[in-house]
């Protein structure tokens, strides 16, 4: 694809070179319309060799940009494939962790109370106990945040607004059933 574009640009450059070769040594074409133009415009126009150098430099820059563009496209394709591979690996590892967790939990459930646990099983039990403690702490923090949000509704005169209807209630004596119904609606 890039070679077809470069062939087209080379043929265009060749055509321009042929056109420039038709120019006389003074830089003006043999057509009579250019001879009739003012001397000011002939001074402003570049000579044929300058024009040739400019076109050649533009052609080189264009070719470099095409090469860089192609390299960037290749890099982009490689990055996309790497991201897809990472996502697939991540999904595979997550599935492996889930299956290991489930099998370990099933093994712990099937252990008889009278049967002594092996060291590995006790390590697994300790690990899951720690995990459960961590989850309990997170649950406690979530409950504290919920409690904090409930107290945000507290008015300056030590009255609290009902979460459902917004009615002012005495501080600490709001209707639990009213708020529980509202919490059920929210979930």
d(CA 160, CA 169) in angstroms, rounded, equals 5
Residue 145 pLDDT class (50, 70, 90 cuts): confident
Query: For residue 164, what pLDDT is reported?
Result: 56
Residue 31 pLDDT class (50, 70, 90 cuts): very low
Q: What is the pLDDT of residues 49-81, one digit of tens each?
A: 888 888 888 999 999 999 999 999 999 999 988
pTM of the predicted protein model: 0.33
Q: Which residues, 6+ apart, have CB-to-CB distance to 59 below 8 Å?
A: 9, 10, 13
Angle CA(21)–CA(27)–CA(29) in degrees, nearest 5? Answer: 65
Whose tokens are 């080189």? That residue is 60
How do the domains of the chain map onto residue ranges?
A: 1-107, 125-152, 154-187
Angle of the 2-21 helix axis to the 48-110 helix axis, nearest 10: 170
Backbone phi, psi, residue 169, to 5°: -125, 155
Residue 101 pLDDT class (50, 70, 90 cuts): confident
Sign of the alpha-carbon torsion through 12, 14, 17, 19: negative
d(CA 68, CA 47) in angstroms, rounded, equals 31
d(CA 51, CA 29) in angstroms, rounded, equals 13
In this prediction, residues 168-173 reach a mean pLDDT of: 53
Residue 107 pLDDT class (50, 70, 90 cuts): confident
Angle of the 48-110 helix axis to the 119-152 helix axis, nearest 10: 110
Query: For residue 144, what pLDDT is reported?
Result: 77
Q: What is the pLDDT of residues 121-142, one digit of tens each?
A: 777 778 888 888 888 888 888 7
Q: Which residues, 6+ apart, have CB-to-CB distance to 94 below 8 Å?
A: none
Q: DSSP character for 126? A: H
Paired tokens of 81? 């494939």
Query: For residue 9, what pLDDT is reported?
Result: 54
Residue 103 has pLDDT above 60, yes or no: yes
In this prediction, residues 33-45 reach a mean pLDDT of: 51
Q: What is the pLDDT of residues 4-17, one digit of tens each?
A: 444 455 666 676 67
Query: For residue 64, what pLDDT is reported?
Result: 93
Question: Residue 62 region, left (φ>0) first, then alpha (ψ -120 to 50), else beta?
Answer: alpha
């Amino acid at each position: 694809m890039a070679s077809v574009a470069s062939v087209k640009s080379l043929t265009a450059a060749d055509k321009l070179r042929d056109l420039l070769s038709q120019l006389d040594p003074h830089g003006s074409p043999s057509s009579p319309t250019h001879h009739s133009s003012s001397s000011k415009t002939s001074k402003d126009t570049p000579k044929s060799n300058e024009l040739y150098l400019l076109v050649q430099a533009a052609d080189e820059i264009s070719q470099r940009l095409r090469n860089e563009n192609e390299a960037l496209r290749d890099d982009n394709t490689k990055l996309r494939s790497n991201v897809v591979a990472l996502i697939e690996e991540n999904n595979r590892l997550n599935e492996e962790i889930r299956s290991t967790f489930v099998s370990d939990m099933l093994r712990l459930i099937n252990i008889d109370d009278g049967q002594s646990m092996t060291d590995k099983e006790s390590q697994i039990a300790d690990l899951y106990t720690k995990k459960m403690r961590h989850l309990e702490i997170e649950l406690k923090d979530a409950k504290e945040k919920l409690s904090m949000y409930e107290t945000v509704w507290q008015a300056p005169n030590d009255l609290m607004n009902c979460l459902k209807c917004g009615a002012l209630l005495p501080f600490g004596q709001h209707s639990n059933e009213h708020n529980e119904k509202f919490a059920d609606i929210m979930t």
